[in-house]
Amino acid sequence: MTEKKQDQSNPNPSAHIERTDFQDKQKYLKQRANTAITRRQVPNEKDILRRKRLIKWTKWVLPALALLLLGSIAIWPEIDRFINTNKAVVNELSHIKVESGTMVGATFHGVDSSDRPYTITSSKVIQNSNNSNMIRLSYPKADILLQNNDWLMVTANNGIYMQHEQDLNLYDNVVLYRDDGLFMYSNIADVALKESVITANDWVHAEGPFGQLDAQAYFLDMHTNIAQFKGPGRLILNDDKNSSPSPSQPSKTSEQSP
């Protein structure tokens, strides 16, 4: 009888347990939400100012980035032209080859004791591995500036350039030309670029406004226009009595051996 009364008073005990669990879960969620709200801090005045400052900087930075992007698009043709120009320069430099101390298309610049410039060009240069000061030249050409903007050029098939001493030793078909019309031909010539002096202890043939001259050796001071020739030799002067020699022409002295 007692069991029946208990069953009638509580016909479904599991349903009562489920309602209790739901209420506990709802209570737990509500408590957790209140805890989260309590933990959230209200922003103070410094935080608000920092956020305002961040928003202000963002308003300036974003348009600036947009302008920079548009500007880069606008100047891209110039950038492309610059890149293509550099490619052309690289292609030109590719013609200069440096292999094992050999360089094709070399140019040397310097000044003499009077600060007058000179330039040496060569189609091919070979640097001595044992002596970096000595450079062998193929088809060298020296352009030298003289007084009163006069000009002198010396060429040869071969030569040796001593960089530190500024000495140029030429041999094999040496040709000297000065802008007043003077030509001198010899097989060798030593050019002291620092002192502006050219010497040769070998037969030389000279032609110019003065006439023709053959000598055994010569000395030429390029800045004072003084030339000395050593004999035995031969001199043929132009028979022009009406014209006087110009100051730019070198004075000519002949020394003959006894």
**What is the tens place of the pLDDT at every residue in 58-77?**
878 888 888 888 887 878 77
3-state secondary structure of 249: coil
Per-residue pLDDT at 35 exceeds 70: no
In this prediction, residue 130 carries a pLDDT of 73
- Please state, in angstroms and rounded to a whole number, the distance separating the CA atoms of residues 156 and 153: 10
CB-side exposure of 25: number of CA atoms within 13 Å? 6
- Please state, in angstroms and rounded to a whole number, the distance separating the CA atoms of residues 154 and 148: 19
> Mean per-residue pLDDT for 113-134?
85
Task: Grade residue 57 by pLDDT with cuts at 50, 70 and 90.
Answer: confident
In this prediction, residue 33 carries a pLDDT of 64
DSSP track, 192-213? ETTTTEEEESS-EEEEETTEEE
Per-residue pLDDT at 187 exceeds 80: yes
Give the least confident one: 13-27, 99-113, 125-139: 13-27
Task: Grade residue 188 by pLDDT with cuts at 50, 70 and 90.
Answer: very high
